[in-house]
């Protein structure tokens, strides 16, 4: 029986894939499988994966016929996974030996639906520790309780799918798959759904996963149209949260986070191609108008003056064609 399935998407990361594959080899066990998903790489990554399939125990190579993006690649791996537990790793990141075994031990001892873990961010030669924003460690908690408060960093602001391990029952309940086709912010609707609908989780302190930041091929470094998928991702967060029985409590957090991300992208708008920058402003304005306006006003009032002013100006921006293209979220009793 397969105890753990690890889903690892790859797309044009030849320079880094060797480190990732070496770390999988160092984590191999007879009851582990590593599902390597090649998303139509063109830089020689595939050849490294084919070699790993021959040489690394537990490796299963899956290939896309056309590029679908990170969310779709993860879903391909999830569909093929046979393990009692599931985990993720990105094709340019790596783990220390024993990483998955430690998380597996923790989740079995605690008996929870999923565990979340700290990680080390690696930017060039710099290293920094990033902690799960959960104060109580090593004990079973209710995921919904970790969403709030709205004005502080919480577990839904730590969306990294690879920073944890998940019981198969979450997959069977439809909670582990990602929104097909999302090329950035794919983990935002995912982490919100997980915390709204799972029954239990725990935070554990294991600094044995290494996240490579600043990779030139990463979408976080590229200012093209794919970056704007964050609008679609957060529209989904708002829409789904608005349907939740606790919408009146949870929406302020969702709206405030969405506003903060829009403001962040506007603050670095010069890195976008001119046409994409214009589309960002138009889509951002439409998104603001599509939010529950009373909740939006409260969110803007709670933000610092610079960000609030930037977003208020954007909300007044004319929308070409008079349409928004954004989710229109209507909450019972919410003023428009």
Average pLDDT, the chain: 92
Q: Give the residue-averaged pLDDT of 313-318.
A: 89
**Looking at residue 215, what is its pLDDT?**
61
Of the two residues 223 and 34, the one the predictor is more confident about is 34
Tokens of 172: 């069977």
Examine residue 316 and say whether the peptide bond preceding it is cis (omega within 30 degrees of 0): no
Q: Provide the sign of the torsion angle of the four alpha carbons 99, 85, 177, 114, taken in this order.
A: negative
Whether 124 shows a pLDDT value over 90: the answer reads no
d(CA 221, CA 215): 7
Token look-up 């390597």 returns 36
List, in sequence order, every residue forming a beta bridge with 114; answer none if it has no partner.
166, 201
Whether 314 shows a pLDDT value over 50: the answer reads yes
* Degrees to nearest 5, angle at CA 210 with 12 and 41: 10
Q: Which of 13, 63, 15 is nearest to 35 (CA)?
A: 63
For the chain, the helix, strand and coil percentages under 3-state DSSP, each to the nearest 5: 45, 15, 40
Confidence class of residue 107 from pLDDT cuts 50, 70 and 90? Answer: very high
Q: Give the residue-averaged pLDDT of 54-79.
A: 97
Q: Read off the pLDDT of residues 170-222 as tens digits, 9 standing for 90 and up.
A: 999 999 999 999 999 999 999 999 999 999 999 998 899 999 987 655 444 45
Q: Which of 76, 150, 87 is nearest to 114 (CA)?
A: 87
Q: Give the residue-averaged pLDDT of 12-31.
A: 97
**Looking at residue 304, what is its pLDDT?**
95
Q: Read off the pLDDT of residues 280-311 as tens digits, 9 standing for 90 and up.
A: 999 999 999 999 999 999 999 999 999 999 99
Confidence class of residue 153 from pLDDT cuts 50, 70 and 90? Answer: very high
Whether 62 shows a pLDDT value over 60: the answer reads yes
Confidence class of residue 320 from pLDDT cuts 50, 70 and 90? Answer: low
Confidence class of residue 267 from pLDDT cuts 50, 70 and 90? Answer: very high
Q: Which of 59, 53, 46 is nearest to 13 (CA)?
A: 46
pTM of the predicted model, to two decimals? 0.91
**Looking at residue 213, what is its pLDDT?**
87
């Amino acid at each position: 029986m397969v105890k753990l399935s690890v889903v690892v998407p790859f797309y044009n990361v030849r320079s880094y894939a060797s480190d990732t594959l070496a770390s999988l080899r160092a984590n191999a066990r007879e009851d582990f499988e590593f599902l390597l998903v090649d998303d139509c790489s063109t830089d020689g990554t595939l050849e490294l994966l084919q070699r790993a399939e021959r040489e690394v125990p537990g490796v299963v190579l899956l290939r896309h016929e056309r590029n679908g993006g990170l969310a779709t690649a993860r879903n391909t791996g999830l569909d093929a996974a046979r393990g009692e537990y599931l985990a993720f790793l990105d094709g340019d990141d790596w783990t220390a030996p024993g990483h998955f075994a430690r998380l597996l031990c923790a989740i079995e001892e605690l008996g929870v639906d999923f565990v979340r873990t700290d990680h080390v961010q690696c930017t060039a030669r710099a290293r920094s520790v990033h902690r799960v924003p959960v104060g109580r460690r090593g004990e079973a908690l209710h995921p919904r309780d970790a969403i709030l408060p709205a004005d502080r960093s919480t577990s839904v602001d730590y969306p990294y799918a690879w920073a944890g391990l998940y019981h198969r029952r979450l997959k069977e309940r439809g909670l582990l798959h990602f929104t097909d086709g999302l090329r950035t912010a794919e983990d935002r609707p995912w982490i919100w759904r997980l915390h709204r609908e799972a029954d239990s989780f725990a935070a554990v302190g294991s600094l044995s996963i290494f996240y490579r930041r600043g990779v030139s091929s990463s979408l976080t470094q590229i200012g093209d149209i794919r970056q704007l998928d964050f609008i679609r991702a957060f529209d989904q967060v708002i829409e789904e949260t608005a349907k939740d029985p606790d919408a009146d409590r949870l929406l302020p957090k969702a709206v405030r986070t969405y506003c903060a991300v829009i403001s962040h992208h506007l603050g670095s708008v010069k890195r976008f191609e001119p046409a994409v920058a214009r589309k960002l402003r138009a889509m951002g304005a439409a998104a603001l108008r599509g939010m529950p306006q009373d909740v939006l006003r409260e969110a803007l009032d709670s933000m610092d003056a610079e960000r609030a002013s930037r977003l208020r100006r954007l909300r007044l921006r004319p929308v070409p064609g008079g349409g928004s293209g954004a989710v229109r979220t209507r909450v019972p009793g919410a003023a428009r």
